[in-house]
């Protein structure tokens, strides 16, 4: 089994290197597209800079994963494995920082910019509607003003015909005062009614610009060119919002309401008799109190309109594709996943090789040497054995020759001669 696993690793070495090279090349291509979107201008220098960065990323990814694939699966010591794991995590983080987000910009950059434009349109729509509502808020005072003006006109007419207030008919002091107050309120009513037409016209123009902005978001073509046209429409909408803020008649209503009581000058009674003049003075005082109450109510209503939160004029900020995928990352999770997978997929191969190497060691370690010896190992062992025997024979031959040489043997000592006595 261990031999089969080793054979499989050896057979897949070329495939692994080719796959790693293709993944690094693909990452470099998408990185080039992402970098090209970040660089200003279309000069040859910008293109060369993008190519250089893309090549550096491709080479870095290939070399990094080649080192990891070569050494990590072979490590057995837990300490060394932990150190290599830290190195791999640091390298993976560096790859994500220098490549993956640019890959995501290439994959989903245009869609992210369109998302930015679409959300900007919604913001401008809300701002325009808020400014429109605020400009029309003073229109809610129009019914009260009409009712007050109608009441003064009705009283003036009744006083003129029947003398309802003073008991004496005719156009006297009271009729003139009531007619004057009614005229001031009608003038204020006319100002509010005129502003309604202007507000409606400005709102219609803003709606048209927003419609063109939506068309630019949904249309085809380069997103950079559409962003330029979009920004021009956004400027127009911002100007209309500013005009709507200035067309509110709430300040005019408040000033007019305060002037009703502040500028009130009671006319001198002009009745023919003392009794009539006294009755006119009483009615004039009653009208004054009514006008003060009406003035206070209108001023408070206008103040509530003015105290509403101010509508901020929107501002459109163009962004690049790389910035867009970072800002709206949660809306493009599949694109981010694909961009990161291109760079970090070799990490899966690393873990596969670690498992295979661990299995090889588990099969090899318990077996004796003679069961794991290959034919090549046997040939090397036999060659070594022959060399050892040849060396032993060469060493033993001179020793044997030295032993068999007669000249080398010591001569026998001569016996001593017998004496004559013997």
Sorted by where each begins, the domain ranges of the chain are 2-110+330-364, 112-329
Residue in 358, 345, 359, 245 with CA at minimum distance from that of residue 305: 245
Q: Within the chain, what is the greatest distance between any pair of CA atoms?
A: 216
Q: Are 72 and 354 in contact (CB under 8 A)?
A: yes
Whole-number pLDDT of residue 420? 36
Residue length, the chain? 422
Please tell me the predicted confidence (pLDDT) of residue 417: 43
Task: Please say if the pLDDT value at position 64 is more than 50.
Answer: yes
| 248-281 pLDDT tens trace | 777 777 777 776 666 555 555 555 566 666 766 6
**Confidence check: pLDDT of 76 > 70:** yes
What pLDDT is recorded for position 412? 44
- Please tell me the distance from the alpha carbon of residue 397 to that of residue 244, in angstroms, as a whole number: 120
The pLDDT confidence band at residue 63, using thresholds 50, 70 and 90, is very high
Top-ranked range on mean pLDDT: pick from 170-179, 216-225, 262-271? 216-225
Quick one: pLDDT at residue 408?
Answer: 46
Is the pLDDT at 388 greater than 50? The verdict is yes
**Structural class in CATH, domain 112-329:** mainly alpha
Mean pLDDT along residues 96-102: 85
Q: What is the mean pLDDT of residues 66-76?
A: 86
Average the pLDDT over 87-113 and give the result.
Answer: 87
Range 359-367, long-range pairs (CB < 8 A, 24+ positions): 359/1, 359/2, 359/5, 360/2, 360/5, 360/6, 361/76, 363/1, 363/2, 363/5, 364/2
pLDDT value at 130 more than 80: yes
pTM of the full structure: 0.61
Q: 335-379, pLDDT tens digit by residue?
A: 888 888 888 888 888 888 888 888 777 766 555 666 666 778 778
Statement: residue 90 has pLDDT above 90: yes
So what's the pLDDT on residue 224?
80
Q: What mean pLDDT comes out for the span 34-47?
A: 73
Structure-model confidence comparison of residues 23 and 43, the more confident one: 23
User: Does 231 or 407 have the greater pLDDT score?
Assistant: 231
Q: What is the mean pLDDT of residues 84-104?
A: 88
CA distance 335 to 311: 37
Q: How far apart are CA 422 and CA 420, in angstroms?
A: 5
| Average pLDDT, integer, range 299-313 | 73
| 105, pLDDT greater than 50 | yes
Which segment of 103-107, 355-359, 418-422 scores lowest on mean pLDDT?
418-422
């Amino acid at each position: 089994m261990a031999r089969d696993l080793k054979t499989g690793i050896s057979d897949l070495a070329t495939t692994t290197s080719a796959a790693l090279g293709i993944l690094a090349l693909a990452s470099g291509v998408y990185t080039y597209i992402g970098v090209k979107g970040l660089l200003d201008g279309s000069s040859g220098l910008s293109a060369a800079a993008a190519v250089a960065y893309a090549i550096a990323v491709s080479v870095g990814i290939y070399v990094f994963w080649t080192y990891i694939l070569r050494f990590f699966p072979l490590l057995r010591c837990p300490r060394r494995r932990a150190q290599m794991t830290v190195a791999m995590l640091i390298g993976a983080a560096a790859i994500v920082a220098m490549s993956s987000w640019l890959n995501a910009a290439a994959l989903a950059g245009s869609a992210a910019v369109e998302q930015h434009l679409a959300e900007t349109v919604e913001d401008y729509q809300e701002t325009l509607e808020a400014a429109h509502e605020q400009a029309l808020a003073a229109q809610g005072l129009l019914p009260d003003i009409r009712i007050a003006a109608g009441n003064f006109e009705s009283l003036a007419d009744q006083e003129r015909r029947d003398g309802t207030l003073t008991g004496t008919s005719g156009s006297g002091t009271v009729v003139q005062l009531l007619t004057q107050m009614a005229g001031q309120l009608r003038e204020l009513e006319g100002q509010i009614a005129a502003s309604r037409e202007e507000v409606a016209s400005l709102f219609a123009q803003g709606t048209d610009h927003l419609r063109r902005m939506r068309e630019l978001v949904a249309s085809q073509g380069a997103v950079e060119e559409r962003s330029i046209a979009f920004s021009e429409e956004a400027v127009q909408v911002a100007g209309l919002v500013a005009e709507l803020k200035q067309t509110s008649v709430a300040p005019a209503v408040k000033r007019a309401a305060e002037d009703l009581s502040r500028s009130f000058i009671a006319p001198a009674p002009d009745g023919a008799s003392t009794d009539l003049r006294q009755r006119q003075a009483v009615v004039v005082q009653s009208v004054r109190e009514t006008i003060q109450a009406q003035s206070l109510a209108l001023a408070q209503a206008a103040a509530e309109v003015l105290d509403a939160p101010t509508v901020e004029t929107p501002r459109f900020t163009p962004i690049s594709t790389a910035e867009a995928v970072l800002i709206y990352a949660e809306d493009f999770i599949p694109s981010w996943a694909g961009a990161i997978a291109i760079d970090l997929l070799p990490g899966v191969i690393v873990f596969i090789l670690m498992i295979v190497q661990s299995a090889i060691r588990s099969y090899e370690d318990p077996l004796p040497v003679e069961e794991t010896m290959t034919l090549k190992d046997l040939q090397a062992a036999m060659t070594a054995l022959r060399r050892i025997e040849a060396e032993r024979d060469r060493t033993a031959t001179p020793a044997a020759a030295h032993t068999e040489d007669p000249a080398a043997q010591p001569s026998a000592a001569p016996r001593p001669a017998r004496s004559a006595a013997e």
